[in-house]
Structure 1
Amino acid sequence: MQFPDDDNGKMLAAMAESGIDLSKALNVDFFLVFDDKRDAESALEDLAGSDNNGELELNFNEELEKWELIVTLHMLPEYDAIVAKEVALNDFASEYDGMTDGWGVMQHQDGDDEFADDDHECGEHCCH
């Protein structure tokens, strides 16, 4: 498979090389970041009230020192679709003084069904 020579293309190429089947829909996490908690919460509320059919989660990213809104969408990991969604989400985030900060896919391995995140405690901003 050939992909454009940019960050999105390199990510898709790495996914294909690692054995991820790009012909099947996956949960793709898009990351939106905000300096201000109120801006992030407003963006979360608007996304939750929209026709967005994905999962939403808001938390503070200590490494970035920013509020991070994760938008998880079940979609085919196609280059054009990912670029279009990134542009749309960046336009949306900019209305709240935020921006996109990339995307990713959790790669599941055999036996992952047995893994549980026992340390995770849902907070007031978890929407999963």
Structure 2
Amino acid sequence: MNKFAGYGFNKSHAAAYALVAYQTAYLKANYPVEFMAASMTFELGNTDKLNVFRQELARMGIPLLTPDINRSHSEFSVEVLPDGQGKAIRYALGAIKNVGSSAMEALVQEREENGAFCSLSDLAQRLDRA
């Protein structure tokens, strides 16, 4: 038993980590835009990590679109570029510093229920002030 404990635990974990590494590599290679959007959403509150992802997007040639109250979601999302020029990632409203995710979820819900915001005063009138 003692001899097995010296290598058995490590081997079983190495196999599990290898499977996760294979799945991660497959997703990044075959669904790069979706994979990066999900990875960035996972690190939503970590601005240092988001900067690393932004650099990786530039290296991969994937556009990162600016936040837009009429298009962004509270999490990072994938958008199809006009004229079928591929896909891009839209910056998450919830990733903006000092802006709460729950407030951005409420903004997105209001936009989906009542249409796009047409002005700053329209935005201020339609959102709950609390």
Shorter-chain TM-score bucket reads: under 0.3
Give the TM-score of the pair, scaled to structure 1: 0.24
Report which structure shows greater RCO (CA 8 Å, sep ≥6). 1
> Larger C-alpha radius of gyration, 1 or 2?
2
Give the TM-score of the pair, scaled to structure 2: 0.23
From the two aligned structures, give the one with the greater helix fraction. 2
